[in-house]
Structure formats: structure tokens, C-alpha cells
């Protein structure tokens, strides 16, 4: 993912911004639930728990490199073309995310997640030699994650619609039983007008 570093010392910066194209893809946020309380454990023990849980996330997401890690949360951004190549599209991404969130082994901590299909996200960065992605749909992923509880996945309407199309086409072959357990919900989210329709599954 090529990232545009925003630097107004560059005389061509305004032209570069004008030429910037959105990078359509899927934003996945994964957060370890109860991670603050976890750190009341002996240091070695909580570090091992975090390591195991982060490793489990990356295993199910086929060792994709996280875009960034903030505290006990990982953010992945998967462009549409890459999602098709690696996961077969949104259905595979959903299945992988459900596998992470439904994990019950004592080696791992509970996780919650949000997934948003982004049509207007931009690969820009304000710190040199870093990668990042910005757009209101990225903000939506963060707002939805804040509504999730442990062992829940909350999806935007845009992601659910893409997921539904994939399920109708491939569902039986990929065997994704979680699809039938998704519930429609709505939230009033900071920075968004009106209630936002979303879709939730508890695993």
C-alpha cells in the first residue's frame, strides 16, 4: 500500500492531494477485552497472554501485517484486490474474524472486533516513514468497536451488504454458519448524523 506523506514543504503537495484516489478496502479493528484489568497479573503472565492473543489474530488473518497497533488493539486494512486474492473476498474475512473472536482456549484473551467496507479511505500519513489510512469510514470502524462487547463482531451496513452478496454466491461451499446468527442493530454514533444501521454477532 503506497502512502502519501503530507508535507507542505513539497511545492507539488496540493497537486498530489488533488490526484489522490481512494483505496477501497476493509478496515478490521481487533481489541483485547479486559486488557487493563489483565495487567494486574504478574508482568510475565500478562505479556504472555497478550503475545498469544496477538499471534492468534495474525494467524487467522494469514499473517497480514497490521497497519498499526495502538495499545491492545490491532488495525488491519485489506484492499479489495488483496481480500479477493488472500481470503476470497468479504466472506473469508468475516470467517477469519469470527474464528479470532470465538476462540475459547485459555491461552488467549477475549477479543471484540469491528469491520467496515471503506469506499472513501485514503492512504496518507502525517508522520514520515509511516503508513496510515484516513477517512470517515475508518472513524466509523472505531465508533462501532466502542459499541462491541467481548466476543462480538459489529459490522457496518456496507460490509454486511458485501457479505450477504458473497454468502448468496458462495455460502454453502465455504460453510460459514455464523452468517445466520447476525442481528441488525442501530446506534447513535458521535460525529454521524442520525442512527447508523449496523450488524452484530455474538460468538
- With vertex at residue 146, the alpha carbon angle to CA 122 and CA 38, rounded to the nearest 5 degrees, is 115
> Mean pLDDT over residues 83-89, rounded?
91
Q: What's the pLDDT tens digit per position in 48-79?
A: 999 999 999 999 998 888 999 998 999 999 99
Residue 171: is its pLDDT beyond 70? no
Task: Map out the domains of the chain as residue ranges.
Answer: 4-202
Second CATH level (architecture) for the domain 4-202: 2-Layer Sandwich (3.30)
The cell numbers describing 100, all together, are: 479470532
Reported confidence tier of residue 107, pLDDT bands at 50, 70, 90: confident
Can you say how many angstroms the Cα of residue 73 is from the centroid of all Cα atoms in its chain?
A: 10
Asked if 88 contacts 64 with a C-beta cutoff of 8 angstroms, the reply is no
Query: What's the rounded mean pLDDT across residues 123-143?
Result: 96
Q: Provide the mean pLDDT of the chain.
A: 93
Can you give the pLDDT at residue 179? 80
pLDDT (mean) for 88-94: 91
Q: Check residue 111 and give left, alpha or beta (phi > 0: left; psi -120 to 50: alpha).
A: beta
| Cα 182-184-187 angle, rounded to 5 deg | 130
Amino acid at each position: 500500500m503506497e502512502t502519501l506523506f503530507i508535507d507542505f514543504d513539497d511545492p507539488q503537495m496540493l497537486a498530489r492531494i488533488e490526484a489522490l484516489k481512494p483505496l477501497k478496502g476493509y478496515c478490521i479493528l481487533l481489541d483485547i477485552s479486559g486488557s487493563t484489568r489483565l495487567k494486574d497479573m504478574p508482568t510475565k503472565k500478562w505479556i504472555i497472554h497478550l503475545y498469544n492473543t496477538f499471534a492468534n489474530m495474525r494467524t487467522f488473518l494469514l499473517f497480514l501485517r497490521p497497519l498499526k497497533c495502538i495499545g491492545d488493539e490491532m488495525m488491519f486494512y485489506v484492499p479489495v484486490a488483496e481480500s479477493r486474492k488472500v481470503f476470497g473476498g468479504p466472506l473469508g474475512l468475516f470467517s477469519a474474524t469470527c474464528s479470532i473472536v470465538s476462540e475459547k482456549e485459555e491461552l488467549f484473551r477475549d477479543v471484540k472486533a469491528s469491520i467496515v467496507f471503506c469506499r472513501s479511505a485514503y492512504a496518507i500519513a502525517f508522520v514520515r516513514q509511516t503508513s496510515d489510512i484516513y477517512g470517515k469510514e475508518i472513524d466509523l470502524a472505531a465508533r462501532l468497536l466502542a459499541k462491541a462487547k467481548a466476543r462480538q463482531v459489529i459490522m457496518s451496513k456496507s460490509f454486511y451488504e458485501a457479505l450477504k452478496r458473497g454468502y448468496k454466491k458462495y455460502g454453502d461451499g465455504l460453510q460459514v454458519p455464523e452468517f445466520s446468527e447476525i442481528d441488525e442493530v442501530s446506534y447513535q454514533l458521535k460525529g454521524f448524523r442520525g442512527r447508523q444501521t449496523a450488524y452484530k454477532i455474538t460468538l
